Amino acid sequence: MKRSVLGVLVDACDYTDATQQIIEAAEHRQPFAGTAVAVHAIMESWTDPALCQQLNSFDLVAPDGQPVRWALNLLHDAHLRDRVYGPDLVVRVLAEAARSGLPVYFYGSTRGTVDRVARAMIRKYPTLVVAGCEPSKFRGAAPGEAEEIARRITRSGARILLVGLGCPRQERFVYAMRPLLPMPVLAVGAAFAYLAGDLRTPPMWMQRHALEWVWRLALEPRRLWRRYVLANPAFLALLGAQKARMWRADPPPPAGRPPRNFSI
């Protein structure tokens, strides 16, 4: 069930429910857009109404960050006991894909990272079928290129597409590709970097207490300081305003047409 967190409709779901939705869509060859959002995605959507509209059209928006889980519990009595952490969700989806014989396609990041992810997951799940690996081109899509990418992925035999382009690029990509692909398209954030071994996973105690941002900031201070030092306090202030009903945080309607400009 979807609930508004600063206007973004987030699913009050757990790992089992999220994984089941993705696998069922893959088995039935249904278009499906999914992502797992942390504070960064919520704040990007708050400042960009078009992005918020796109997210609100997704089939699945899982609570990745602990603060997003806490927000669902605080605002809507969701009683969620755990978040749906992106890298862990990817591992669960791949385990089910391997068991069910559903080929997967990795799209995004660099050639080295995406290849390392594929090799690592095949070692972990020997029956996993990787239909293809394609790195990001780090540029905007040319006219007709989305359709070309969709044809390439469909011809590969893939039944699940995992997209690691970083927020909000990956959400815009997923939104644009959803109507073109008969399969789940899942934005996975930094999951490729973690699963490939490019990023070290923070200790569990930091994850439980919503301190993962401190870990990431220590690893990449120049790139991430604005995201965490500015966005986190703003999120807490807006969350307080929504809880106090000083602000209704009504979600905007879902977007109606694919974006003209998005990155691939």
In a domain, 30, yes or no: yes
pTM of the model as a whole:
0.88
In a domain, 11, yes or no: yes
Give the Cα separation of 195 and 164 in Å (integer).
11
Range of the domain at 67: 2-139+148-191+207-243
Coil vs helix vs strand at 133: strand
**Which tokens sit at 144?**
């007709």
Q: What pLDDT band is residue 260 in, cutting at 50, 70 and 90? A: low
In a domain, 252, yes or no: no
The CATH number that applies at residue 116 is: 3.40.50
Give the Cα separation of 224 and 39 in Å (integer).
13
pLDDT digits (tens, 9 = 90+) for 5-41: 999 999 999 999 999 999 999 999 999 999 999 999 9
Give the Cα separation of 103 and 227 in Å (integer).
35
Domain count, the chain: 1
% of the chain with per-residue pLDDT over 70: 90
% of the chain with per-residue pLDDT over 90: 67
In a domain, 40, yes or no: yes
Q: Evaluate if residue 261 carries a pLDDT over 80.
A: no
In a domain, 161, yes or no: yes
pLDDT digits (tens, 9 = 90+) for 204-247: 776 776 677 666 666 667 776 666 667 788 888 888 989 888 87
The tokens 């791949």 sit on which residue? 94
In a domain, 199, yes or no: no
User: Quick one: pLDDT at residue 140?
Assistant: 87
The tokens 């604005």 sit on which residue? 226
168 prior amide bond cis, ω within 30: yes
In a domain, 152, yes or no: yes
In a domain, 123, yes or no: yes
Question: 60-63 and 184-187 as β-strands: parallel, antiparallel, unpaired?
Answer: unpaired
